[in-house]
Structure 1
Amino acid sequence: MADDLCSFTKDIFVIKVPKKSPLALRMIVLVFAMVCGVYICSICVKQISTHSKAGFLNIPVTQRPCPEPYIEPWEIPYVHYPKPKTYSRDGCACNPVRYFAILSMQRSGSGWFETLLNNHTNISSNGEVFSVKVRRSNISTIVETLDKIYNLDWLSSASKNECTAAVGLKWMLNQGLMQHHTEIIDYFNIRGVSVIFLFRRNLLRRMISVLANLYDRDAKLLNGTHKSHVHSPHEAEILAKYKPILNATLLIPNLKQVEETTAKALEYFKSTRHIILYYEDIVKNLTMLIDVQDFLKVPHRELKSRQVKIHKGSLSNQIGNWDDVEKMVKGTGYESFLHADY
Structure 2
Amino acid sequence: MCMSGTEKQLPQYRAVLPHPMSKAGALCLKNDVPVVKYRYYPQPLTFNRKECKCTPVQRFVVFSMQRTGSGWFEALLNSHPNLSSHGEIFSVEKRRENIKRIKKNLDNLYNLDWISSASKNECTAAVGFKWMFNQGLMEYKGEIATYLKQNHVSVIFLFRRNILGRYVSILANVFDREKKQLNGTHRAHVHSKEEADLLAAYKPIVNLTSLIPYMERIEQIMMDAQLTFNGTRHMILFYEDLMKRPSALKRVQKFLHLPFEELESKHVKIHTLPLSEQVENWKEVSEHLKGTKYESFIY
TM-score where L is the length of structure 1: 0.78
Match of 1:186 in 2: 146
In 1, Cα distance between equivalents of 2:257 and 2:231: 20
Q: Which runs of 5+ in 1 are unaligned?
A: 1-61
**1:256 alignment counterpart:** 216
Are 1:317 and 2:277 counterparts?
Answer: yes
The residue matched to 2:40 in structure 1 has which SS?
coil
Please give the alpha-carbon distance, in whole angstroms, between the structure 2 residues aligned to 1:97 and 1:160: 13
Range with greater deviation from structure 2 (199-208 or 305-314) = 305-314
1:180-259 correspondence to structure 2 within 5 Å? 180-259=140-219
Distance (whole Å) between structure 1 residues aligned to residue 180 and residue 212 of structure 2: 29
Match 1:148 to one of 102, 108, 112? 108
Offset of 1:66 from its aligned partner? Answer: 2.4
Alignment CA distance shift 1:305-1:162 (3 Å): closer
Give the conservation status (yes or no) of the 8 Å contact 2:24–2:53.
no
Contact 1:88 1:162 in 2 (8 A): no
Between structure 1 and structure 2, the one with the greater Rg is 1
Q: How many residues align?
A: 276
Cα distance, 1:239–1:215 mapped onto 2, change above 3 Å? same
1:90–1:162 Cα contact (<8 Å) kept: no
Once the two structures are aligned, what percentage of the paired residues are identical?
54
> Partner letter of residue 289 of structure 1?
L
Q: State the distance in 2 between where 1:175 and 1:64 align.
A: 34
| C-alpha distance after superposition, 1:172-193 (max 9, x if no partner) | 0111111101110111011110
Q: Report SS of the residue matched to 1:107.
A: coil
Summarize the alignment of residues 1-342 of structure 1 with structure 2, pairs less than 5 Å apart: 65-68=26-29, 72-73=34-35, 75-76=36-37, 78-160=38-120, 163-339=123-299
Whole-angstrom distance in 2 between the partners of 1:101 and 1:63 = 23
When residues 266 and 211 of structure 1 are mapped into structure 2, their CA distance, relative to the original with a 3 A threshold, is same
Contact 2:25 2:40 in 1 (8 A): no
Q: How far apart are 1:327 and its partner, in Å? A: 1.4
| Aligned-pair CA distance for 1:288 | 1.3
Q: 1:266 to 1:64 in 2, by over 3 A?
A: closer
CA positional deviation for 1:126: 0.3
SS at match of 1:249: helix
Tell which deviates more after alignment, 316-325 or 146-155: 316-325
1-side partners of 2:45 and 2:150: how far apart?
A: 21
Offset at residue 65 of structure 1 (A): 3.8
Alpha-carbon distance in 2 for matches of 1:257, 1:321: 22
- CA RMSD across the alignment: 1.5
Quote the offset at 1:335 in angstroms: 1.0
Q: Distance in 1 between matches of 2:49 and 2:132?
A: 30
Contact 1:194/1:272 (CA < 8 Å) preserved in 2?
A: yes
Asked if structure 1 preserves the Cα contact closer than 8 Å seen for 2:77 and 2:263, the reply is yes
Looking at structure 2, the residues matched to 71 and 123 of structure 1 have their Cα atoms a distance apart, in angstroms, of 24
Q: Supply the distance in 2 between the matched residues of 1:311 and 1:269 (Cα, whole angstroms).
A: 31
Cα separation, 2, equivalents of 1:308 and 1:232: 6
> 2: CA distance between counterparts of 1:63 and 1:230?
42
Provide TM-score, normalisation by structure 2.
0.89
Spell out, residue by residue over 1:276-299, the C-alpha distance to the aligned partner (whole angstroms, 9 max, x if none). 000001111012111110100010
Q: Answer whether contact 2:25 2:54 (CA < 8 A) is retained.
A: no
> Could you tell me how far apart the structure 2 residues matched to 1:197 and 1:287 are?
17
Amino acid at match of 1:322: W
The whole-number CA distance in structure 2 between the counterparts of 1:225 and 1:331 is: 41
- Indicate if the aligned counterparts of 2:24 and 2:54 stay in contact, CA closer than 8 A: no
Structure 2 alignment gaps of length 5 or more: 1-22
In the alignment, is the contact (CA less than 8 A) between 1:67 and 1:94 conserved in 2?
yes
CA distance in 1, matches of 2:125, 2:242: 23
Counterpart in the other structure of 2:16: none
